[in-house]
Amino acid sequence: MLKAKISTLRNVLAAVAFAATGLASSVATAQTAICYNCPPEWADWGTQLKAIKEKTGITVPPDNKNSGQSLSQLIAEKNSPVADVTYLGVTFGIQAAKDGVVTAYRPAGWEQVPDALKDPAGNWVTIHSGTLGFMVNKDALKGKPVPQSWADLLKPEYKGLIGYLDPASAFVGYVGAVAINQARGGNLDNFGPAIEYFKALQKNEPIVPKQTSYARVLSGEIAILLDYDFNAYRAKYKDKANVEFVIPTEGTVVVPYVMSLVNKGPNAENGKKVLDFVLSDAGQALWANAFLRPVRPSAMSAEAQSRFLPADEYKRAVAVDYAKMATVQKAFSDTYLKQVR
């Protein structure tokens, strides 16, 4: 009888221990969502990740991939996904849907997003947009004039001062190529003007990193970076750097950034909550306060708006056919790698 009771007690204790282990695992899972390409130094993701934790209880670890690296990893992990959500430039978002590595989800606030800025099937949705231009550390110019045009960057006085992200890998680099191409008479069927421009720019020995180089501009290592308005405004107003944002006189492009739920991600419900938050009033207000144009304009305060260049200057920033931009991206990248790098 005593042996039977001891055996029963052992079984109960084992069951309790097993349940506790399962509960701990469940709690750990419930508190985590993995995001590919959510770097704290880019677009003030650092503040957004903290807010997600505070408001939802979900921890999203920072991730310093770029869009191209994220898509490549999502494809490599397609049969056993690691990530739950991903943040991508719109062309990579379109391609991710084609590759089947993301899945449909319409976050709260979906109805308020313009049709052109979301996938009809729900595979991706814009959270904010950026305008490509020059992020200029005026101190690092050492008295040289702030460049105002694409043509200016070809002047020998800017030798060694210019940086742009690798257009064959980083989405912002590709956006820069599209902007240059459009401004110099090309189109999405003809990238000749951009290729010729990059060839000419090599004489000025540009720095060409693969990932965000915000800190390198603040330090003065890169004086002029082809980058988005939101990073330049963040440097100026938050980090108090002597930075100016320039929309080139010949024109530029504006591009959406999107998020998606990863197909068969291990923490899908947590991923959905993250997407709900970034489109919520609170999430959108954070983007606006981080100098990004939120996809839901009602979240942008007058104070946030006042930090942007005047609306007349933004008239030089145009939209393009983003689906076509995605379709021709690989061909451009191949040509760039063969002829420029």
Per the domain annotation, does 111 fall within a domain?
yes
214 and 296 share one domain? no
Tens of pLDDT along the chain (341 residues)?
444 444 444 444 444 444 444 433 343 445 999 999 999 988 889 999 999 999 999 999 999 998 989 999 999 999 999 999 999 999 899 999 999 999 999 999 999 998 888 999 999 999 999 999 999 999 999 999 999 999 999 999 999 999 999 999 888 999 999 999 999 999 999 999 999 999 999 999 999 998 778 999 999 999 999 999 989 999 999 999 999 999 999 999 998 999 999 999 999 999 999 999 999 999 999 999 888 889 998 888 888 889 999 989 999 999 899 989 989 999 999 999 999 98
137 and 178 share one domain? yes
> Structurally, how many domains does the chain consist of?
2
d(CA 93, CA 37): 12
User: What is the CA angle 312-117-128, rounded to 5?
Assistant: 60
CATH code for position 115: 3.40.190.10
Per the domain annotation, does 22 fall within a domain?
no
282 and 248 share one domain? no
Query: So what's the pLDDT on residue 311?
Result: 86
| Number of Cβ within a 10 Å radius of residue 223 | 25
Query: So what's the pLDDT on residue 30?
Result: 56
> Distance of alpha carbon 57 from its chain centroid, rounded?
23
269 and 216 share one domain? no
Q: Which domain holds residue 166?
A: 131-254+313-339
In degrees rounded to 5, what are phi and psi of residue 335?
Answer: -65, -40
d(CA 266, CA 171): 26
103 and 51 share one domain? yes
| H or E segment and range at residue 260 | strand 252-262
39 and 144 share one domain? no
User: Which residue, 42, 105, 41, 36, is CA-closest to 72?
Assistant: 36
DSSP 146: P
| Number of Cβ within a 10 Å radius of residue 44 | 19
57 and 163 share one domain? no
Beta pairing class for 125-137 and 243-246: antiparallel
Please state the pTM of the whole predicted model.
0.74
The helix/strand/coil state of 318 is strand
Per the domain annotation, does 6 fall within a domain?
no
211 and 290 share one domain? no
Query: So what's the pLDDT on residue 15?
Result: 43
| Number of Cβ within a 10 Å radius of residue 20 | 10
Tens-place pLDDT, residues 297-311: 888 888 888 999 998
Amino acid at 212: T
Per the domain annotation, does 12 fall within a domain?
no
d(CA 186, CA 323): 17
Per the domain annotation, does 17 fall within a domain?
no
260 and 141 share one domain? no
Per the domain annotation, does 120 fall within a domain?
yes
The helix/strand/coil state of 1 is coil
260 and 293 share one domain? yes
Residues linked to residue 98 through DSSP beta bridges, in sequence order: none
Query: So what's the pLDDT on residue 237?
Result: 94
48 and 140 share one domain? no
What string of DSSP letters covers 41-100? TSTTHHHHHHHHHHHH--B---B---HHHHHHHHHHTTTS---SEEEEEHHHHHHHHHHT
Tokens coding 89: 């430039």
d(CA 1, CA 258): 66
Specify the length of the chain in residues.
Answer: 341
Per the domain annotation, does 161 fall within a domain?
yes
The helix/strand/coil state of 293 is strand
* CA–CA distances in Å: residue 60 to residues 32, 55, 56: 6, 12, 11
Per the domain annotation, does 178 fall within a domain?
yes
104 and 211 share one domain? no
